[in-house]
A and B are shown apart, each in its own frame.
Chain A
Amino acid sequence: MASNWFRFAAPASFYPLAGRLIPVFWILTGVCLLVGLYWGFFQTPDQLGGSNAQKEYYRIIFIHVPSAWMSMWLYVVMVGWAAIGLVFNTRLSFMMANAVAPTGAIFTFLALWTGAFWGRPSWGTYWDWDPRLTTELILFFMYIGYIALHSAIDDTRRADRAAALLAIVGLAMIPLIFWSVNCPDPNQCAALHQRSDLTQIEGNILFSMLAVTFGFWMYSFATVLMRLRSIILTREADNTWVQELIVKGDRA
């Protein structure tokens, strides 16, 4: 069976597989987002009680937290593919790392954007130099740096390898970003964000947050595979199988 898996390391055989998977992931995206957002909007308590009662606007959490999770996770995934590419010298892994970067950058931007809109009513400001906000901004710069370095180098092979190395170096920042909110000793880091602790979240809120996260995950799969297919076509344009594909007009 092992050889069966390696079969898909070749762009020519992965291309049709990706084509078959994309609709599945899009359907899952739709289902998860609909369920998650429906639950988040209609089945959760109206406001968080206690001394810091938040009104309806706390529902931004259903987009904000999942996109922040995805932004960090996708960077790790990107580094993973980049490292596999550097070690095993496989073309497809570099293409995968390349396809992940824009989706990661979009989620980082989304997390910052929704955070600003949430910050305005609850903290009275769009932006503050909170450790979490700042490190998320750095993450955004790191995605931009990866994309910029890759597009600045004309030779694809060098671009792949250089950008992969940059991504791996940048991995040193991910623990900083992660622990900037889950600081071991809260007295040591002044932050506006509260500690995140999954066990303290109300069940309905947690359910819809996880559902949206899963939906975002599926969305990432779908968009990454779509981008990957176009990268494969661009890079393998000289190969016979691509030429045949074009002649047949086959979109599978």
Chain B
Amino acid sequence: MLRVFWCILLRDLTLALRRRTDVLTTLFFFIIVVSLFPLGVGTERQILQILGPGVVWVAALLASMLALERLFAADYEDGTLEQMVLTAQPLSLLVLAKITAHWLLTGLPLVLIAPLVGMQYHLSDDAILITMAALLLGTPVLSLIGAIGAALTLGLRGGGILLSLLILPLYIPVLVYGAGAVTASGIDMADTRPYLALLGAFLVAALTFAPLASSAALKISIE
């Protein structure tokens, strides 16, 4: 079981590293979106400190969604996905491996780049740490929920736009609590643990149900 998981994970990572631009595009999209806000709303320190948490999360949502379209698309086009569905291995495990690879390539870089964004928005060191923790817990949820949408819209015309329509409403709780954690860290005496605990709960729930739902969606899309 574990061997299959590793096999798919390493395959997806190798494929992505052969085509590095795909990964870098998402990362730069994130950085550019985040950099646009100060230019739009003004560069006053106080405004930026208030806006920061929300902007980081909205940009992370959009960046992770941008990459979702490719999650199953390439395998679907060349027929690999069909073979995966036909193998004796549990499909949800294969899907989980693909989602993990997707998160390592698009979610994790966002976590690592967060201090840079924090500097742009004059966030305190504490707030930057909380941002990273919240992103670390929240971005896997985005990949997991997003995979369901990506599987449902596989091979449809205008799939990308449709994907955003289906998935963004489901992202809202993550956005609320993720940004809430960072905002709370700026307030004296405020406790950020409840927010992080809730994000952790979302992660556990998504880890349990999302692979099952995405593999069911894949079977519907492929048959």
Known A152-B162, A158-B220; judge A173-B170 contact (CB<8 A).
yes
Cross-chain contact B173 with A166 (CB below 8 angstroms): no
Hey, which chain A residues are within 8 Å of B149, CB to CB?
166
Q: Smallest Cβ distance from A2 to chain B, in angstroms?
A: 30
Q: Is A246 an interface residue (CB 8 A)?
A: no
The A contact surface, by secondary structure, is helix
- Closest Cβ of chain A to B178, distance in Å, is 16
Contact between chains at B162 and A170 (CB < 8 Å): no
Give Cα A109–Cα B165 distance, bound, in whole angstroms. Answer: 17
A148 within 8 A of B: yes
Q: CB within 8 Å of B: which of A142-167?
A: 142, 144-145, 148-149, 152-153, 158, 161-162, 165-166
Other-chain residue from A158, A169, A172 in contact with B221 (beta carbon distance below 8 A): A158
Select which of A144, A165, A173 is within 8 A of B152 by beta carbon. A165
**Tally of contacts, chain A with chain B, CB under 8 A:** 56
CA separation between A149 and B159, bound complex, in Å?
Answer: 9
Query: Are A173 and B166 touching (Cβ within 8 A)?
Result: no
Q: For the complex, give the distance between the alpha carbons of A142 and B220 in Å.
A: 20
Flag whether B169 is at the interface (Cβ < 8 A): yes
Select from chain A the residue with minimum beta-carbon distance to B158: A152
Q: How far is the CB of A161 from chain B (nearest CB, A)?
A: 4
- Contact in complex: B162, A165 (CB < 8 Å): no
Separation of A54 and B128 alpha carbons in the complex (Å): 47
B123 CB to closest chain A CB, in angstroms?
A: 23
Are B170 and A170 closer than 8 Å at their CB atoms? yes
In the bound assembly, the distance between CA atoms of A148 and B161 in angstroms comes to 11
Contacts A141-B169, A142-B169: A165 and B153 contacting too (C-beta < 8 A)?
A: no
Q: Is the CB of B220 within 8 A of A166?
A: no
Cβ < 8 Å to A, chain B residues 114-164: 145, 148-149, 152-153, 156-159, 162
Q: Does B50 contact A (CB under 8 A)?
A: no
- Give the residue name and chain of the B residue nearest to A145 (CB): B166
Contact B172 A149 (CB under 8 A): no
Q: Which of A138, A148, A153, A165 contacts B216 (CB 8 A)?
A: A165
Q: Which residues of B contact A165 (CB under 8 A)?
A: 148, 152, 213, 216-217, 220
Q: Which of A153, A170, A173, A176 contacts B156 (CB 8 A)?
A: A153
Check B166 against A166 for contact (C-beta < 8 Å).
yes
**Residue pair A162, B170 in contact (C-beta under 8 Å):** no
B223 within 8 A of A: yes
Chain B residues closer than 8 Å to A134, beta-carbon distance: 172
By the criterion CB–CB under 8 Å, are B221 and A148 in contact? no
Residue of A nearest to B223 (CB): A158
Closest residue of B by beta carbon distance from A137: B169
Closest chain-B Cβ to A106's Cβ sits at a distance in Å of 18
Contact A162 B158 (CB under 8 A): no
Take A158-B221, A158-B223, A162-B152 as given contacts and tell me if A145 and B169 are in contact as well, using a CB distance cutoff of 8 Å: yes
Establish whether residues B169 and A166, one from each chain, have CB atoms under 8 Å apart when the complex forms.
no
Write the chain B residue with the least CB distance to A163. B152
Q: Is B165 within 8 A of A169, CB to CB?
A: no
Which partner residue on chain A sits nearest B156 by CB separation? A152
Which of B217, B220, B221 neighbours the largest number of chain A CB atoms within 10 Å of its CB? B220
Q: Given the interface contacts A153-B156, A165-B152, does A144 sit within 8 Å of B221 by beta carbon?
A: no
Choice from B157, B166, B168, B223 contacting A149 with Cβ under 8 Å: B166
A149 to B170, CA, bound (A): 15
A162 CA / B168 CA spacing, docked (Å):
17
Do A162 and B169 have beta carbons less than 8 Å apart? no
CA A161 to CA B218, docked complex, whole Å: 11
Q: List 14 A-B contacts (CB under 8 A).
A: A144-B165, A148-B162, A148-B166, A149-B153, A152-B156, A153-B156, A158-B220, A158-B221, A161-B220, A165-B213, A166-B148, A166-B152, A169-B170, A170-B170
14 new A-B contacts, CB < 8 A, other than A149-B162, A169-B145, are A134-B172, A138-B172, A141-B165, A141-B168, A145-B165, A149-B166, A152-B158, A161-B220, A165-B148, A166-B149, A168-B213, A173-B169, A173-B170, A173-B173
The 8 closest A-B pairs by CB, nearest first: A141-B169, A161-B220, A145-B166, A138-B169, A162-B152, A162-B220, A145-B165, A152-B156
